């Protein structure tokens, strides 16, 4: 459905400005984390950042590609959920907390096992009455894939999800980012990923090396060389197909809200899965005219962005229905 509730300020009716502005100019000072390291069965670890207010419900936040828990969109959402007395748990994907992970394995769009580990651990130690997932970009696709692909394994405590700027079809998202107009974003992503390869290649010389990395120009080349072979996929296309959330949207069993902006420079075509969402009453797709990629900037309103208000409205609505 078209969501006309988001009224972008006139100056922000541009997808690129919406995408870039928060990263450089938004500051969230009111959020403090307590970090905890979760040891995984395969010998690796995840760094979890808690922000508790003593709530009986928990929101688990998943960041985007080459992101981390201190990104403004993560901190802004943490501040918002705390304002309504919900606990927040923002988790860093493998290798994204400032320290390289131990294994050759890296994070990617299909690491639903890591999200499942975080969810189960949080429920085990917190005894929460309800848990909600909030995801951004890659974290949005990961959250939806988890809820659909593992619908029968998702703990009963998970009551819903709200995700923003979800690349539901990874092939179309890769094509969108490969456009010349998006070359700056691509260069930044590849430079950041290159630093991770360099940090780990001395420990895994048979799997990781950066020889000729400067010739990589897009995600197909990166995923063909690194993501696919390291994680058991035959090619970039195989990885994209198997880790896109779109084919699994019809299996989601909890109320899930997807908000994608029409002017998002990172998304195209099948990233707006209208037909799949129509076939599942549990999934709502809202398409805003403006918002860019993980933008949804709003001025004033105590610094709260529209996406944060929309997530709270969705989560609190679910809680109200349960209480009623």
Residue 215 corresponds to which tokens in the numbers above? Answer: 């010739």
Residues 6+ apart with CB under 8 A from 95: 101, 106, 107, 196, 200
Question: What gap in Å lies between CA 315 and CA 324, rounded to an integer?
Answer: 14
Mention every residue, 6+ apart, whose C-beta is less than 8 A from residue 188.
none
Residue 201's alpha-carbon distances to 207, 223, 226, 239, 301, in angstroms, are 8, 16, 12, 22, 46
User: d(Cα 2, Cα 303) in Å, to the nearest integer?
Assistant: 25
Q: For residue 231, give the DSSP letter.
A: H
Catalytic sites, residue numbers: 137, 264, 293
User: Whole-angstrom Cα distance, residue 181 to residue 19?
Assistant: 14
CA-based radius of gyration for the chain: 19
């Amino acid at each position: 459905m078209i969501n006309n509730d988001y009224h972008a300020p006139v100056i922000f009716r541009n997808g690129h400005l919406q995408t870039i502005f928060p990263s450089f100019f938004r500051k969230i000072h009111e959020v403090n984390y307590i970090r905890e390291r979760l040891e995984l069965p395969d010998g690796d670890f995840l760094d979890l950042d808690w922000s508790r207010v003593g709530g009986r419900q928990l929101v688990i936040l998943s960041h985007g590609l080459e992101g981390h828990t201190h990104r403004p969109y993560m901190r802004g959402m943490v501040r918002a959920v705390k304002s309504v007395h919900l606990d927040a748990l923002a988790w860093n994907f493998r290798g994204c907390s400032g320290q390289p992970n131990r294994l050759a394995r890296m994070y990617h769009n299909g690491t639903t096992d890591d999200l499942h580990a975080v969810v189960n651990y949080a429920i085990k130690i917190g005894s929460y009455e309800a848990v909600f997932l909030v995801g951004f970009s890659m974290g949005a696709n990961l959250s939806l894939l988890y809820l659909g692909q593992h619908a029968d394994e998702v703990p009963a405590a998970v009551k819903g999800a709200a995700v923003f700027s979800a690349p539901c079809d990874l092939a179309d998202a890769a094509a969108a980012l490969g456009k010349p107009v998006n070359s700056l974003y691509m260069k930044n992503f590849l430079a950041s990923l290159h630093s991770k390869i360099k940090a780990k290649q001395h420990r895994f010389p048979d799997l990781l090396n950066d020889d000729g990395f400067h010739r990589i120009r897009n995600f197909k080349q990166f995923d063909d060389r690194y993501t696919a072979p390291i994680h058991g996929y035959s090619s970039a296309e195989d990885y994209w197909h198997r880790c896109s959330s779109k084919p699994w949207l019809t299996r989601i069993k909890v109320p899930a809200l997807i908000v994608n902006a029409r002017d998002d420079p990172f998304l195209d075509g099948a990233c707006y899965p209208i037909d799949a969402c129509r076939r599942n009453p549990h999934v709502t797709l809202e398409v805003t005219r403006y918002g860019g990629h993980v933008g949804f900037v709003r001025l004033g309103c105590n610094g709260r962005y529209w996406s944060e208000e929309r997530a709270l409205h969705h989560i609190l609505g679910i809680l109200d229905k349960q209480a009623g």
